[in-house]
Amino acid sequence: MTQTAIRAENRIAVGLGDMSVVTDSETTLACLGLGSCVGIAASDQQASVYGMAHIVLPNSGGRSTESKAKYADTGVPRLIEEMVANGAIKSRIRFKIAGGAQMALSNATNPVFKIGERNIEAVTEAAKAAGIRIVSKELGGSRGRTLRLETGSGRVFVSEAGATPEEL
């Protein structure tokens, strides 16, 4: 096996509704197989603080949850908070986001499949409200994606099923 963009050091798979913040330079954070969910790769490169969130739904509507990043409206501020608590400077945090697809080979008439679109809107709005810049994104469409963030270099990669990862 040749070493490509994906490193073999610490890997953290961030599951549905979960988030992870790290400060070392040898970890790869990943959201594996995002469909309608939106993955956020967040970095303060200068402070070497990195975070990833796996957003499932747009709005909490005041509902409580054990999952830190289940909802965009509460998950985005929570991610920023945890990064700042780990030494990041808020104004330096940058987001790269991917996901929000409508998965279907045939016509998806079920409204459930519209969740992706609403997640994209909600994450974009929450980032804007927090004053965080989204510097690049790979959103929508009908294909699933994996989002990876390599701490240290701060490089972010997106891949579709069976395809080589592309830098975001």
Partner 1 sequence: MEMTSVQDKDQALLEDQVWTGLVAGGITHAISGLSEMVGQPVRTTFLAPRTLPAAAVSTLVGDPEDQMVAIHLGVEGEASGHIMVAFQPQTAVDLLGLLLGEKPSLEEGFSELEVSAMGEMGNIMGAYFLSALGDVTNVELRPTPPTVMMDMAAAVIDAAVADLMMYADDVLVVDTRFGTTDQQIRGVFLVLPNPELKAVLLDKWQD
Name the site residues for partner 1 (rule: CB under 8 A): 13, 15-18, 32-37, 56-57, 63, 65-67, 70, 101, 103-110, 112-113, 115-116, 143-146, 161-162
Give the number of other Cβ atoms within 10 Å of residue 32's Cβ: 16
51 vs 132 by CB, closer to partner 1? 51
Q: How far is the CB of 142 from partner 1 (least distance, A)?
A: 8
Q: Which residue among 21, 29, 37, 97 is the active-site one? A: 37
Distance, CA of 151 to CA of 64 (rounded, Å): 31
Listed residue (98, 51, 44) closest to 75, CA to CA: 51
Q: How far is the CB of 47 from partner 1 (least distance, A)?
A: 29
The number of helix segments (H) and strand segments (E) in the chain equals: 2, 10
49 vs 165 by CB, closer to partner 1? 165
Tell me the residue length of the chain: 168
124 vs 146 by CB, closer to partner 1? 146
Residue 62 is classified by DSSP as T
Q: Is 31 an active-site residue?
A: no
Q: How far is the CB of 42 from partner 1 (least distance, A)?
A: 20
Q: How far is the CB of 102 from partner 1 (least distance, A)?
A: 8
Three-state DSSP at 153 gives coil
Q: What angle do CA 77, 78, 84 make, to 5 degrees?
A: 90
Q: CA separation (Å) from 83 to 45, 77, 104, 141?
A: 12, 10, 35, 30
18 vs 73 by CB, closer to partner 1? 18
**Among all residues, which ones are annotated catalytic?**
37
